Amino acid sequence: MLVLPAQTVTPAAVLGTTVLFALFLSVTAHLAARNVLGSVDPRRALYVGPLPAVVGVVGGAFSVPAALTVPVALALDAAMFRWSYDEEPLRAIATMTVVHVVITVLLGVVVGGTVFLLSTAPS
């Protein structure tokens, strides 16, 4: 059984979590945009990650139900894709958003599972 010590939440921890989550979402947003649009500027993906990351961290901190936070995060994700990549067809925006969700979930499960396995390894 894995026992975690009690943790205190500091502003630095919240800021660090938000920044790392935003970077992770930006990387996966770039992968999604490359998948749908082809060759794109990676700096544009930096605009996509922060708003959904803030929604996720704030929603988790205040125990907002996922039924509220997930649609808001997805709407912001789509809006930021549209703004950042100047795409007019809603089909392209919807495709990028769905691909972004899939890549984020898959990569999150793989990275999270790897970290968990390494944390339980004998020393």
Distance CA 59, CA 46 (A): 21
In a domain, 2, yes or no: no
Ordered per-residue pLDDT tens for the chain, 123 residues = 666 666 777 888 889 999 999 999 999 999 999 999 988 999 999 999 999 999 999 999 888 999 999 999 999 999 999 999 987 789 999 999 999 999 999 999 999 999 999 999 887
In a domain, 101, yes or no: yes
What pLDDT sits at residue 121? Answer: 85
CB proximity list for 82: less than 8 A, separation 6 or greater = 93
**How many distinct structural domains can be found in the chain?**
1
Structural domain includes residue 76: yes
Within a domain: 62: yes
Host domain of residue 75: 14-118
Structural domain includes residue 42:
yes
Asked whether 96 and 44 are in contact (CB, 8 A), the reply is no
Domain contains 24: yes
Whole-angstrom Cα distance, residue 15 to residue 26?
16
Instruction: Extract long-range pairs of 6-15: CB within 8 Å, 24+ residues apart.
Output: 9/61, 14/57, 14/61
pTM of the model: 0.86
Q: Does residue 74 form part of some domain? A: yes
Q: Is residue 4 part of a domain?
A: no
